[in-house]
A and B are shown apart, each in its own frame.
Chain A
Amino acid sequence: MAALKREVVRAEESEVYDVELSEDLLKANQRLAEENKRFLHENGVRAIDIMGAIGSGKTSLIEKLVQLLKTRYKIAVFKGDLTTTIDAELIARHGVETIAINTGKECHLDANLVKKALQRLDLNSIDLLFIENVGNLICPAEFPLGSDKRMVVVSVTEGPYMVVKHPFIFMEADVVAINKVDLAKAMGVDVERLEKDVKTINPKTMVVATNCRNGEGVDHVAKALRL
């Protein structure tokens, strides 16, 4: 009988439990990013996170930066993509250590993936790390990776409104490269106007016009990144 009685006992209103949590899920990534940053600094490595839309020229810019800087720095590159190692192989041709990070389905790199990739790298043998994010102008803004500087690449072929339509990623950027300026005329896009848009949104960012086909402006990007 006693057992039966126990079975019909129901939780009452007073047994409702209110738990205060205040757990921030995006902050968990920020904490990991801070760890990455500390780890990189302890090993004397500077890291640059490169963000931008699909096809904006992130990989081409990294290739040009690697060519320009590889005699002065020992460089490694993390190349984020959903799948394939096509771009990673393009960069590896220049003789720098390149690790492809395939996110599977995720539209951005996060601090945890970078942490995992860092474990596969001999940090004593490098002093500069480029981290190419997944092609996307939205999500990467929300996920710091632990880099010293964040750069956004935007190209004139994306049209004249790309900057004003994505203000928040430009607020995160220390340096912005406006790429494919050789095509500006054909596209009917005003490079100065794009530059003004970036400066309106984020007055402290540095803007550089580039053409990664012939390398124009790449030295200015390096300077803006203080490399």
Chain B
Amino acid sequence: MHEFSVTSQIVRSVLEEGEKRRAKKVTEVHLVIGKLTFLGLEQVRFAYEVLTKGTIMEGSKLFIEKQEGVVKCNHCGYEGGFKYEDDPLYHVPVPTLKCPQCSNVVNTVAGKECAIKSIKMMV
């Protein structure tokens, strides 16, 4: 939904980093994006291409690593993927904050990332 503004923040951060190191060109940018964010990867790529035009990032390769949603249960110690409940009325699996092992309420510990992991640049 807000890929353009988030991507422009990404581009700004990378350009700042490049400036700090007097880079001539940025060749690769590696991102981690959690599956629980509402960022469409296709839109991120599109915005990236538009926003990097005319900068030292133009033509750089964008790598996006996807991070699965991970929940943790404080009662039984479960750590892993969400439980989905299959609802016969909707025919869709609905994610739930119930622990898959003990049904207590879990906390989300991963899947909301939107991070620049590393940048490759020519100096």
Contacts and interface: CB of A to CB of B under 8 A. Distances in A.
Contacts of B17: 19, 21
Nearest to B104: A203
Given A11-B122, A200-B96, A201-B95, A17 B85 contact: no
User: Which of B10, B97, B118 has the largest count of A CB atoms less than 10 A from its CB?
Assistant: B97
B105 A203 contact: yes
Interface stretch (B49-57, B73-81, B109-117): B109-117
A174 to B, nearest CB: 12
A226 B7 CA distance: 39
A202 interface: yes
B1 A167 contact: no
Interface in B56-87: 85, 87
Given A11-B123, A142-B37, A142-B38, A16 B27 contact: yes
A25 B116 contact: yes
A16 B122 contact: yes
Contacts of B96: 200-203
A53 interface: no
Contacts of B43: none
B37 A197 contact: no
A21 B116 contact: yes
User: Which of A21, A22, A139, A167 has the largest count of B CB atoms less than 10 A from its CB?
Assistant: A21
Interface of A is mostly: mixed
A144 to B, nearest CB: 10
Contacts of A25: 6, 9-10, 13, 114-116
Contacts of A22: 115-117
Nearest to A30: B112
A122 interface: no
A107 B39 CA distance: 13
Contacts of A200: 85, 87, 94, 96, 98
A142 B112 contact: yes
Nearest to B21: A17
Contact of A20 (B6, B24, B95, B117): B117
Nearest to A26: B114
A53 B86 CA distance: 25
A22 to B, nearest CB: 6
A21 B31 CA distance: 10
Interface string A112-146: 00000000000000000000000010110110000
Interface string B19-37: 0010110010000000011
B47 interface: no
Contacts of A24: 113-115
A15 to B, nearest CB: 6
Interface of A: 11, 15-27, 106-108, 136, 138-139, 141-142, 161, 164, 167-168, 171, 193, 197, 200-204
Given A19-B17, A21-B115, A142-B37, 5 more contacts: A18-B118, A25-B114, A26-B37, A141-B38, A168-B38
The 10 A-B residue pairs with the shortest CB-CB distance, nearest first, are: A24-B115, A26-B114, A19-B119, A11-B122, A139-B1, A21-B116, A204-B105, A17-B123, A23-B116, A25-B9
28 contacts: A11-B123, A16-B122, A17-B23, A18-B119, A19-B121, A20-B118, A21-B115, A21-B119, A22-B116, A23-B13, A24-B113, A24-B114, A25-B114, A25-B115, A25-B116, A106-B2, A107-B2, A108-B2, A138-B1, A138-B38, A139-B1, A142-B37, A164-B87, A164-B90, A200-B85, A201-B94, A202-B105, A203-B97
